[in-house]
Amino acid sequence: MERRELLKMIAAATGAAFIGNPLALAAESAQRPGTGFSADDMQLLNEIAETIIPRTDSPGAKDANIGQLMTRLVSDCYLPGEQALFRQGMQKLNEAALNQFGKAFLLLEQKHKHSLLSELNDEAYRYNKQNKVRHWELGRPGGTPDEDKALPHYFTLFKQLTLFGFFTSKPGATQVLRYVAVPGRYDGEFPYKKGDKAWAT
């Protein structure tokens, strides 16, 4: 449900009239500074994200423009150490593509993209285990990483940002998962069968 619909519903339920909120409008229209990433960077990130969450019979990462979102999250929500690791990761990924296939990642065939990420996925798994990276997740407020906490492998950053960005996107939340803005009530028991979509929130 859109906010506009929600407000209408609340107005109907409570008899209250709504007035547009100037604060909210100002925040939405405020100019945001650049992220320091180029259009090429965003395209590369979109390709990585699409390989992690591909379009199947439902939308994939590119449909949600995850590349652009990743640059925003990295520049606004990551700590400096994570930002540096993320940027190095983009470089390393391209270097690996050049070494193995003689081409930049963007120019690889789909099966080569997949095999490269498959290697990185395994490498990240081993790296995180060896370095005891455990509860790393997107730099959420409330969970400021300790200075001495080990950062994960860079591929883990790509993967986590892709998943977070995708499942909180409109296509991810509303088409791939089930999103209900106003459930109306809570049911403690509700049937589920394998394959049913999970709730988005």
Per CB under 8 A, contacts with another protein among 6-35 are 6-7, 10, 13-16, 18-19, 21, 23-24, 27, 32
Q: Which is nearer to another protein, 3 or 102 (CB)?
A: 3
CA distance linking residue 172 with residue 166, whole number of Å: 5
Q: Which is nearer to another protein, 16 or 102 (CB)?
A: 16
- To the nearest 10 degrees (0 to 180), the angle between helices 110-130 and 154-167 is 110
Judged by CB under 8 A, how many residues of this single chain contact another protein? 77
Q: Which is nearer to another protein, 102 or 183 (CB)?
A: 183
Shortest distance, CB of residue 139 to another protein, whole angstroms? 6
Find the farthest-apart pair of alpha carbons in the chain and give their distance in angstroms, rounded. Answer: 66
- What are the backbone dihedrals phi and psi of residue 149, each rounded to the nearest 5 degrees, phi first? -75, 135
Shortest distance, CB of residue 125 to another protein, whole angstroms? 5
Interface mask toward another protein for 103-142; x: CB under 8 A: -----------x--xx--x---x-----------xxxxxx
Tell me the CA distances in angstroms from 146 to 83, 134, 150, 151, one per residue in order: 15, 13, 9, 10
78 touches another protein (CB under 8 A): yes
66 touches another protein (CB under 8 A): no
CA distance linking residue 136 with residue 177, whole number of Å: 24
Q: Which is nearer to another protein, 15 or 102 (CB)?
A: 15
Candidates 52, 93, 151, 157; binder of another protein (CB under 8 A) is 52
CA angle 174, 44, 70 (to 5 degrees): 50
End-to-end CA distance of the chain: 13
The two three-digit tokens of residue 175, written as one number = 């088409």
53 touches another protein (CB under 8 A): yes
Shortest distance, CB of residue 102 to another protein, whole angstroms? 24
